[in-house]
Chains A and B, each alone.
Chain A
Amino acid sequence: MSVIYVLWLRELRRYVRSRAQIVASLGQPLLYLLALGFGLGPVFQKAGQGSYVQFVAPGIIAMTVLFSSIFSGMGLLWDRQFGFLKETLVAPVPRIQVMLGRTLGGATVAVIQGLLVAVVAFVAGFRAVDLRSLPLALFFMALIASLFAALGTAIGSTIQNIQGFQLIMNFLVLPIFFLSGALYPLNNLPRVLGLITSIDPLAYGVDGMRTTLIGLSHFGLTADVAVLAVVAAALLGIGSYLFSKIEV
């Protein structure tokens, strides 16, 4: 058994065992999906944009993947707190394998969470326009999950306390979400906002999801895949480097 595999399995086991956490972490996306989906629905419809649930569901699925993956990466903070991190740090295995196992495990969990929200979206009336594009949508979820799990690991390797955690939440994770176009179309945005969204990696993830699921594209699929893949690779590199430098 390889180290990457056992650490990946560990993340999955922890996920399956924390049922309360699964339910709790689905609360927020469901609220967004149902309250915003149906609440803003009439306005969206009046503006001639069609069904808002249909529009917002890919964004909410992407949001679920974002939150879940970035927090699983930052789960390092808890491993540091409860001491298990030390056990992995003194083990005679390359730290890059430890980092990869954790990150891929966190990314897998994030994709599962995203799929759960997708099922609820389906129940709420969301329909993908072309079923053949579902594998591609899953691929985008995996890209988003890997990118942000790596970012979470990079952050978890650097900060050591809970104040840092709040700071990251308010000044990084929430802006990434709100500026990604998950909740609103990116067309005709004010110039500055448009510029900011174009440097938000999640915007490309949401765009990819929306293109594959409802056929609505802003950046184009090639740009989406390219940006996500390059940023994910860069963050995996940075995350591995920072993880290899951890001292306890």
Chain B
Amino acid sequence: MIRVENLVRKFGDFTAVDHISFQVGQGEIFAFLGPNGAGKTTTIKMLTTLLRPTSGTLQIDGLDPAAHPHEVRKRFGIVFQDPSLDQDMTAYENMELHGVFYHVPRKLRVERIELLLRLFELWERRNEQVKLFSGGMKRRLEIARGLLHTPKIVFLDEPTLGLDPQTRNQLWSHVKKLNQTEGVTVFLTTHYMDEADRVAQRIAIIDHGKIVAQGSPQELKQQTGKDSLEEAFLAFTGSTIRDESANVSHDQLKAMARMWGNRR
């Protein structure tokens, strides 16, 4: 379903993704793990048509995202790591807009919106503007929205960041169900190793833009001789803390946006 060969992405002199190769089979749950700044999100952006690779080849369902962005976009759904909701719209309107974007027929759209908003306990507050929501509620809405249509592949970029155990549990059961009943391929990243261990069938670990290990959770533990995936992960990537390079213009814009009080 996903084929990546010798993929490279540079930002100026900095190589964020450095000749990585991996494959994800149809119906597989694949976890892409790595410390902060390792290149996970950059890889997801290239897979989801948001960034062009510097070199290397990419295929989603046999198609190159750079050459056939529109066809590729029909095949996946994504929950982004950063917020991507329209804060001025209500929860329901955000869901509805997404349903129209992904051509979910009206009747099915209404049904699924209710189902998902109830599942993630947002139904009671569906007519409130998203900017009034707490961080956890926004996150839940992002996830509910990402699952509204049933794509061939779902990308989940740290979906459980900042969520309580109850919601995490809901999310993973729902994702597993989608995977089993609809055969949806899942590509996820997370910093919670227990989640990866529980959900993923196969794992790749990326560090400094290079893939340092690949295999099932069991295999990774065996290779390092550790009992838990967390220990295995630390054995592969070391225990120093990473800094993500700050994006200057992004931060300035953020400061400005705060000053202007979320005007737009």
Contacts and interface: CB of A to CB of B under 8 A. Distances in A.
Interface in B150-190: none
Interface of A: 1-3, 6, 10, 13-14, 17-18, 21, 75, 77-94, 160-163, 247-248
Nearest to A24: B263
A162 B256 contact: yes
27 contacts: A1-B100, A13-B89, A13-B93, A14-B264, A21-B263, A78-B263, A78-B264, A79-B264, A80-B253, A81-B253, A82-B87, A82-B262, A84-B87, A86-B80, A87-B84, A91-B102, A92-B70, A92-B103, A93-B101, A160-B249, A161-B252, A161-B253, A162-B252, A247-B50, A247-B52, A248-B45, A248-B50
A1 B252 CA distance: 37
A248 B84 CA distance: 12
Contacts, number: 97
Given A78-B263, A161-B249, A83 B80 contact: yes
B97 A75 contact: no
Contacts of A89: 49-50
Contacts of A91: 73, 98, 101-102
How many interface residues does chain B have, given as a range? 35 or more
Interface of B: 45, 48-52, 70, 73-74, 76, 78, 80, 82-89, 93, 96-98, 100-103, 106, 129, 249, 252-254, 256-257, 262-264
A83 B83 contact: yes
Contacts of A75: 264
Nearest to B257: A81
Contacts of A79: 86, 264
A76 to B, nearest CB: 9
Nearest to A160: B249
